[in-house]
Structure formats: structure tokens, C-alpha cells
């Protein structure tokens, strides 16, 4: 059984209209039928999905070469009412009875293999493999655990200081999410944020993060420490119509000034929907919240947008900082971002500083606000407080001058 899903069909359907989309599906069906034997079955499962059922196939190799042929055929340009249209196809193949003994089971596995083909870059095919099932199951159980984690309050925030090299002081910190998993220990965002985004759980988790960050700011205030906290938000949260009201309600509830809150959104999330983001940013900024563009330099910013966006801070991505003291090109990029920041009147922060030479180079080119393991790893609140007490000018691992 072969599961076929077209690549880029939605773009054609949305761009050229449903009439052309229908013609395209007919043409694809025709091309598939042309290559099958009369005993084979092809069905459209809905949308842009087709299933081919073939009995009496000699070898997996035959199956693979048929898939190759179908992919090539489908990829040929089509002339549809004066438009030349091209789509691709991703295919997943599953065998009876090895991969499944019932139609539905077989179809699910062919579908799973199709997703693997899509993940492998589209316009290709994959055979179903047991490991795919394991991966999907792992994914599902992680998602269930993640769902529970919100309710069971297994999350915590660690804080990484942002240091001003001019005076060695830390005036703000970045809140970074950690998951205290009951069996697997402390998990970093890299292990669960993507899944949280995919499943929509990020909305609840993000709400918890904002609440906890505000609570922490207010707790520090009560104990005489004024620190601004930068919170990472995801694109999904920005798209949630109430985000501004929620944040405003939180700062009110915890009785903190919005000036003590900073919102970080990655450059790629900003550029994915600059209109919506601009509206939300300007409302947040009117409240007095600082706005930062994270991972800057990786997201293909349009300078036209950047100029008009209500933002305060650019955070230079770690990938440019990593070799800044060794690669002239990276140093040039950092200088360019600094110049850009200066002309747009934004402050520039470099993240991911791990060594003294990196810090020294950054300071020499005028990038004074830095963050990285060289100064401190992200720390639980109590340890951060200790760090803040112990660090003043001169002991940040930098020569003074
Ligand atoms: P980010 O916002 O760019 O955060 C910086 C990441 O770099 C953090 O990883 C931090 O621990 C790490 N880092 C800091 N200094 C250094 C250094 O000197 N060397 C190296 N190698 N790494 C350094 P972390 O905590 O694993 O977070 C990864 C990403 O997950 C963050 O990147 C952010 O995009 C996302 N994230 C973290 N917390 C949240 C959250 O509460 N909500 C959302 N939506 N995303 C979050
Ligand atoms: Mg960040
Ligand atoms: Mg970053």
C-alpha cells in the first residue's frame, strides 16, 4: 500500500483558486492511473491524499521503482487553463502482512512513512519501519506528560544575568524555562518546546511562564532587588488575540511596573507575521514593556519592517558570537548589527559569550551588553541572588580598562 500526499498543493489551491485545484487533482489521478496495472486500486482519501493498493508485487524494489516513477510523473509541469503549475509528491509504503494485517492499520503505517518522506525533504518515498512507530509513540507519550506537567507544576524558571561591560552590573535577567521531569530529571527547552508549539500546549505553558516571571519580579522587589526580567514568547502566544490584556492583567495582579518586563520574540517569528507582531508590540510598548528581537541575524529581516517595528533591543544570535574573536567575518557581522542598532536607536545585546577573548572583542567593538556562560549560566532564583551579591565590577573575568 502506498500513501501519497502532494507537496505544495495548498499553495496552488489558495493562489489560483479551487477550480484549478480540482483540475490539478484530476490530472494527478490520471498520471497515477496511467502507471498502474488494471488490477491495482487507486483512491483519493480527501484533500490532496491518494492511496494506491497493489496486490502481487514481487519485491520491495519493484515497489520502490514504481514510487520513483510516480514521483517523477507527478512532478512534471501541468498546463491548467493557461497556468503552468508544478507540485511534488511524498509517498509512504507499507506491506501486508508484515507492517499490518488490517486495512486501517496498514494505511496508518503508510501514512507514517509518508510523514518520514516529507521530513526527509519531500518529493521522495519511504518504507514504513518499526522505529517510526516507536518515535511516534515516544512523541505521543511525551505530549501526554507535557500536558500533565502544566497541571502538576513541573516547570521552573532559571535566570541568566545580562551584564553591562561598562560597569559590570547586571540590570536584567532572562527567564529560561526548565522542566523538572519526574523520571528524566531537568529537561531543557530543546527537548520539549517544539512539541509544545506543535501541540498548542505552549499557550498554557507560556501563560504560566509569564505569571511566574511576574511573581518573581514582585518577590525580588519586596526584598529590595529591582531586576527587569526578559521572557521568551512564542509565535503562537503572539497570535493569541488576548496576549496584551493577559500581560497587563498579570502586571497589575503582581503589582509590578511593566517597565520591569521585557518580551523576547525570535527574529524568524517576527518576520513570519510582521503585521500582527507590530500591532501587539506597539500595544505592549505603550504599556512600558521593553521589546527584544531574539536570535537576530538568523531570520532574514526585512530592513523596511525592522525600521517600522516598535522594538527596543536586538539580541545578536549566539552563532555570530561563537567565533567572533577568531573569524573576521563574524566580527564584521557583529559590527554591522551594532551600526544598525545605532541608526535605529536600538540597544544591542550579544548572547552566548563563553570566553574572555569573546567578551573582550565585543567590548572593543562597542558591544557592552552581554549574556553568556562566561558570566553565568541560567540559575535558579536563589542561586541567581547569590551570584548578584557576589559580582561587582572587575570580577567578571575581564581586564578592567
Ligand atoms: P534563547 O531565548 O535564545 O535563549 C538562549 C539560550 O542559550 C538558552 O538555552 C541559554 O541557556 C543558552 N545560553 C546562554 N548562554 C550560553 C552560552 O554561553 N553558551 C551556550 N552554548 N548557550 C548559552 P535554553 O535555556 O536551552 O533555551 C533554548 C531556547 O528555548 C531559548 O533560546 C528560547 O528560544 C526557548 N525558550 C526558553 N524558555 C522559553 C520560554 O519560557 N518560552 C518559550 N516560548 N521559549 C523558551
Ligand atoms: Mg531569548
Ligand atoms: Mg537567543
| Any atom of ligand 1 within 6 Å of the Cβ of 397 | no
User: How much of the chain exceeds pLDDT 70, in percent?
Assistant: 97
At residue 399, does pLDDT exceed 60? no
Q: Are 189 and 177 in contact (CB under 8 A)?
A: yes
Q: Which three cell numbers stand for residue 150?
A: 502544566
Q: What is the mean pLDDT of residues 196-216?
A: 95
| Any atom of ligand 1 within 6 Å of the Cβ of 186 | no
Q: Are 125 and 64 in contact (CB under 8 A)?
A: yes
Take atom 17 of ligand 1 and give the residue whose Cα is closest: 352
Please name the residues in contact with 182: beta carbons below 8 A apart, sequence gap of 6 or more.
Answer: 154
* 200-223 burial: b if 16+ Cβ within 10 Å, else e: ebbbebbbebbbbbbebbbebbee
Dihedral pair phi/psi, residue 265, rounded to 5°: -130, 140
Query: What confidence score (pLDDT) does residue 393 get?
Result: 40
Convert the pLDDT of each residue in 294-333 to its tens digit.
999 988 777 888 888 999 999 999 999 999 999 999 999 9
Query: What confidence score (pLDDT) does residue 106 get?
Result: 94
Q: Which atom of ligand 1 is nearest to the CA of 231?
A: 41
The whole-angstrom separation of Cα 118 and Cα 7 is: 8
Convert the pLDDT of each residue in 138-153 to its tens digit.
888 999 999 999 889 9
At residue 400, does pLDDT exceed 70? no
The DSSP 8-state label assigned to residue 377 in this structure reads: -
> What band does 239 get if pLDDT is binned at 50, 70 and 90?
confident
Query: What confidence score (pLDDT) does residue 136 get?
Result: 86
Secondary structure of 56-95 as H, E, C letters: CCCCHHHHHHHHHHHHHHHHCCEEECCEEECCEEEEEECC
Ligand 1 pocket test, pick from 155, 172, 189, 237 with the greatest ligand atom count within 8 Å of Cβ, gives: 189
E strand spans, 49-189 = 49-53, 78-80, 83-85, 88-93, 125-127, 155-164, 169-181, 185-187
Please name the residues in contact with 198: beta carbons below 8 A apart, sequence gap of 6 or more.
Answer: none
Beta-bridge mates of residue 130: none
Look at the block and give the residue holding cell 514593556: 289
Q: Which three cell numbers stand for residue 123?
A: 518529493
Please name the residues in contact with 104: beta carbons below 8 A apart, sequence gap of 6 or more.
Answer: none
| Any atom of ligand 1 within 6 Å of the Cβ of 230 | no
> What band does 392 get if pLDDT is binned at 50, 70 and 90?
low
The whole-angstrom separation of Cα 15 and Cα 336 is: 37
How many degrees, rounded to 5, is the angle at CA 90 between CA 88 and CA 94?
155
Take atom 34 of ligand 1 and give the residue whose Cα is closest: 232
Q: What is the pTM of this model?
A: 0.79
Q: Which helix (H) or strand (E) holds 291?
A: strand 290-296
Protein residues near ligand 3, an ion, with CB under 5 A? 294-295
Q: Are 190 and 242 in contact (CB under 8 A)?
A: no
Q: Which atom of ligand 1 is nearest to the CA of 351?
A: 15
Q: Burial level of 51, CB count in 10 A (0-12/13-18/19+)?
A: buried
Beta strands at 155-164 and 78-80: parallel, antiparallel or unpaired: unpaired
At residue 401, does pLDDT exceed 60? no
At residue 60, does pLDDT exceed 90? no
The whole-angstrom separation of Cα 238 and Cα 332 is: 32
At residue 358, does pLDDT exceed 50? yes
**How many residues in total does the chain contain?**
401
At residue 214, does pLDDT exceed 60? yes
Convert the pLDDT of each residue in 36-47 to its tens digit.
998 999 999 989
At residue 232, does pLDDT exceed 70? yes
Q: Pick the more confident residue, 301 or 129.
A: 129
The residue among 349, 270, 260 whose CA lies nearest residue 306 is 270
The whole-angstrom separation of Cα 76 and Cα 73 is: 6
| Any atom of ligand 1 within 6 Å of the Cβ of 295 | yes
Beta strands at 83-85 and 49-53: parallel, antiparallel or unpaired: unpaired
Query: What confidence score (pLDDT) does residue 249 get?
Result: 98
Look at the block and give the residue holding cell 526585512: 302
Q: Are 341 and 306 in contact (CB under 8 A)?
A: no
Convert the pLDDT of each residue in 65-104 to its tens digit.
999 999 999 999 999 999 999 999 999 999 999 999 999 9
Query: What confidence score (pLDDT) does residue 313 get?
Result: 97
Dihedral sign (CA 341, 346, 347, 353): negative
Query: What confidence score (pLDDT) does residue 241 get?
Result: 83
Amino acid at each position: 500500500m502506498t500513501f501519497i500526499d502532494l507537496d505544495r498543493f495548498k499553495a496552488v489551491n489558495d493562489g489560483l483558486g479551487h477550480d484549478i485545484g480540482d483540475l490539478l487533482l484530476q490530472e494527478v489521478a490520471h498520471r497515477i492511473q496511467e502507471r498502474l496495472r488494471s488490477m491495482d486500486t487507486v483512491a483519493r482519501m480527501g484533500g490532496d491524499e491518494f492511496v494506491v493498493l497493489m496486490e502481487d508485487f514481487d519485491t520491495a524494489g519493484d515497489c520502490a521503482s514504481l514510487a520513483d516513477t510516480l514521483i517523477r510523473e507527478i512532478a512534471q509541469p501541468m498546463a491548467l487553463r493557461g497556468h503552468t503549475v508544478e507540485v511534488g509528491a511524498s509517498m509512504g509504503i507499507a506491506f501486508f502482512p508484515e507492517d499490518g494485517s488490517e486495512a486501517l492499520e496498514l494505511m496508518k503505517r503508510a501514512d507514517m512513512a509518508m510523514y518520514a518522506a516529507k521530513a526527509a525533504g519531500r518529493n521522495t518515498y519511504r518504507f514504513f519501519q518499526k522505529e517510526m512507530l516507536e518515535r511516534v509513540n515516544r512523541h505521543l507519550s511525551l505530549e501526554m506528560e507535557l500536558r500533565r506537567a502544566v497541571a502538576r507544576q513541573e516547570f521552573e524558571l532559571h535566570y541568566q544575568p545580562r551584564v553591562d561591560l561598562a560597569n559590570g552590573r547586571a540590570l536584567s535577567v532572562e527567564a529560561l524555562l526548565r522542566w523538572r521531569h519526574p523520571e528524566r530529571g531537568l529537561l531543557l527547552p530543546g527537548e520539549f518546546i517544539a512539541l509544545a508549539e506543535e501541540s498548542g500546549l505552549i499557550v498554557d505553558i507560556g501563560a504560566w511562564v509569564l505569571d511566574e516571571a511576574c511573581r518573581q519580579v514582585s518577590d525580588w522587589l519586596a526584598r529590595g532587588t529591582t531586576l527587569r526580567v526578559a521572557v521568551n514568547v512564542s509565535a503562537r502566544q503572539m497570535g493569541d488575540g488576548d496576549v496584551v490584556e493577559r500581560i497587563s492583567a498579570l502586571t497589575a495582579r503582581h503589582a509590578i511596573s511593566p517597565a520591569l518586563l521585557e518580551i523576547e520574540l525570535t527574529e524568524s517569528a517576527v518576520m513570519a507575521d510582521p503585521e500582527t507582531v507590530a500591532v501587539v508590540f506597539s500595544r505592549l510598548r505603550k504599556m512600558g514593556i521593553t521589546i527584544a528581537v531574539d536570535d537576530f541575524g538568523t531570520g532574514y529581516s526585512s530592513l523596511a519592517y525592522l525600521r517600522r517595528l516598535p522594538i527596543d533591543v536586538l539580541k545578536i544570535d549566539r552563532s555570530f558570537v561563537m567565533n567572533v574573536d577568531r573569524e573576521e567575518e563574524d566580527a564584521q557581522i557583529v559590527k554591522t548589527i551594532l551600526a544598525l542598532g545605532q541608526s535605529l536607536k536600538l540597544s544591542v545585546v550579544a548572547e552566548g559569550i563563553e570566553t574572555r577573548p569573546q567578551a573582550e572583542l565585543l567590548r572593543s567593538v562597542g558591544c557592552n551588553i552581554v549574556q553568556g556562560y562566561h558570566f553565568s549560566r541560567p540559575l535558579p532564583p536563589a542561586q541567581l541572588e547569590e551570584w548578584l551579591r557576589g559580582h561587582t565590577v572587575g570580577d567578571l573575568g575581564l581586564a578592567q580598562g
